[in-house]
Structure 1
Amino acid sequence: MSDQSTETDGDGTATETEATDRDVRLIGHRGCADQYPENTLLAVRESAPHVDMIEIDVQRCGSGELVVFHDDELDRLTDATGSVSTTDWETLSELTVLDSDQRIPLLVALLEAVPSETAVNVELKHEGMADEVLEAAGAVDNEVLFSSFSPTALRELRERDADAPLAFVTNESPESSRSIATDLDCVAINPDYEMVLGTSFVADAHDEGLAVNTWTIDDAETAERVVDAGVDGLFVDRWDVV
């Protein structure tokens, strides 16, 4: 497990090393969603001792608060129905996640629950949250990486903070994805793991100065293959997969 970086040679060009010589950052996807109720205070507290970074999802609910919840709809993770975007916080705050007693948290509460030595990847599910997300992240001492599938959401962050570390999340078109990431001055690109296997994706991203964090790794064999491909980080649903 390591810092978010790639090795470079004397002239600053990113270089690949053998998997056995590389430290790869372990990232708990939704707080290790196969082991704990995802995106909850319990998940981040329990997974934090075992990972370098915890990934969480943020979106705006019907009454305007920023909540940590992945799905657009409530029915997979709770006993309620309807969309997060049309449900007010008073209602959401009473719901529990899966078969646990854990409730849907506000972004500010979840960030406060992460130990300061553990990094956080805040994935923005949509645009229109930049100011509040940056404010929430600025209130904690953790290293925070901001990511999104939405170039617009990332651009809003960049316009408000020239130094905010950004990552573009993608599962299509390697060339255009790298172009978006470099245009937004991202520090990383987060692709579906299938995009890095048997391709030049990692080397090309490193040539652009981008770290590569790949998702979502469910077994040790796949983990070994993507590490061999040169990635810098693994999103995992179980911290014991590697």
Structure 2
Amino acid sequence: MRVIGHRGCPALGPENTLAAFRAAAARLDWVELDVRRCASGELVVFHDSTLDRLTEATGPVADATRSELRALRVGDSEESIPTLAEVFAALPDRVSVNVELKEAGLADDIVALVADAANDVLVSSFDPDALREVREAAEREGALGTTDLPRAFLFATDWDRSLRVAAELDCVAVHPHYDLLSAVRVAEAHDAGFELNAWTVLEREVVERLREWGVDGVIVDDPAVVGNGLREA
């Protein structure tokens, strides 16, 4: 079962920062991150739509330029908000990356960046339009030497509808909240041709239950909840 470091694993460093991604990469083969566009056009790695929770600034990320974001610090750390390109540059090539799109309108930039990256990439989103744009952009550009870029549909409700949406978008995986799952549903997703990565798992007993059901991956804040089998840092 793959273990995916959620936002680089907040247990290891401030979420979605280079420090967190480097620490996660020392232990895990996968990391997950959130992408949105800032005012000057760059793709930045930041979960929230506003700066209020994690920085001393306020207001939408979309209204701040890259230079303004670079000057901010995440939480009480010395870490700044990185661009997506900076995260890829910091990660070893062997680490796979789950890029979660927080908004539509990012597809062309994502496809262009991934085409130059050595890492394996899976693009996910709660927004079907964002995933549809990625599919279309990848087909136009021939990303990675193919006509596709793997996609996963994220959801927290409505199991049946979500599987239908994932199928319509030609997704290779579904990313449900773990509370939606049962052994029957895991088998149903597999029978439909999807891999299944569950988010965000906080307790070891939940990890073990999901493992028993055959879940392909778990997205975690802290690698310690998985127990043995992680790379030594």
Q: Same fold (TM over 0.5)?
A: yes
198, 201, 218: which one aligns with 1:234: 218
C-alpha deviation, 1:121, in angstroms? 0.3
> Could you report, residue by residue, the CA deviation over 1:185-241 in whole angstroms, capped at 9, with x for unpaired residues?
111000000011x36221111011000000001111111111122210000001111
User: 4+ residue stretches of structure 1 with deviation over 6 A?
Assistant: none
Counterpart among 144, 167, 174 of residue 189 in structure 1: 174
**Distance in structure 2 (CA, Å) of the matches to 1:112 and 1:26:** 21
What RMSD in Å do the two structures reach over aligned CA positions?
Answer: 1.0
* Alpha-carbon displacement from aligned partner over 1:85-126 (angstroms, at most 9, x marks no partner): 111212111011111111100111111111100100000001
Give 1:25 shift: 0.3
Structure 1 residue matching 2:36: 3-state secondary structure: strand
What are the within-5 Å matches in structure 2 for residues 151-166 of structure 1? Answer: 151-161=128-138, 162-166=147-151
Equivalent-residue separation in structure 1 for 2:215 and 2:85 (angstroms): 30
Question: Which sections of structure 1, spanning at least 5 residues, go unmatched?
Answer: 1-23
**Map of 2:127 onto structure 1:** 150
**TM-score (structure 1 length as normaliser):** 0.88
Tell me the equivalent position of 2:202: 218
Indicate the residue corresponding to 2:6 in structure 1.
Answer: 29
Matched to 1:201, the amino acid is: R
Contact kept? 1:28, 1:53, Cα under 8 Å: yes
- Provide the C-alpha distance between the structure 1 equivalents of 2:157 and 2:191, rounded to a whole number of angstroms: 19
Distance 2:119 2:179 in 1: 30
**Does 2:89 match 1:112?**
yes
Residue in structure 1 matched with residue 28 of structure 2 by the alignment: 51
Larger helix proportion of the pair:
2
**For 1:50, what is the secondary structure of its paired residue?**
coil
List runs of 5+ in structure 2 lacking aligned partners: 139-146, 227-233
Question: What is the match of residue 41 of structure 1?
Answer: 18
Q: Does 1:206 align with 2:183?
A: no
Q: Which amino acid aligns with 1:218?
A: L
% identical aligned pairs: 48
Give the whole-Å Cα distance in 2 for the aligned partners of 1:139 and 1:40.
Answer: 21
Specify the alignment match of 1:81 in structure 2: 58
Q: How is 1:133-144 mapped onto 2 (pairs within 5 angstroms)?
A: 133-144=110-121
* Cα distance in 2 between the residues matched to 1:228 and 1:119: 24
Match of 2:158 in 1: 173
TM-score (norm 2): 0.91
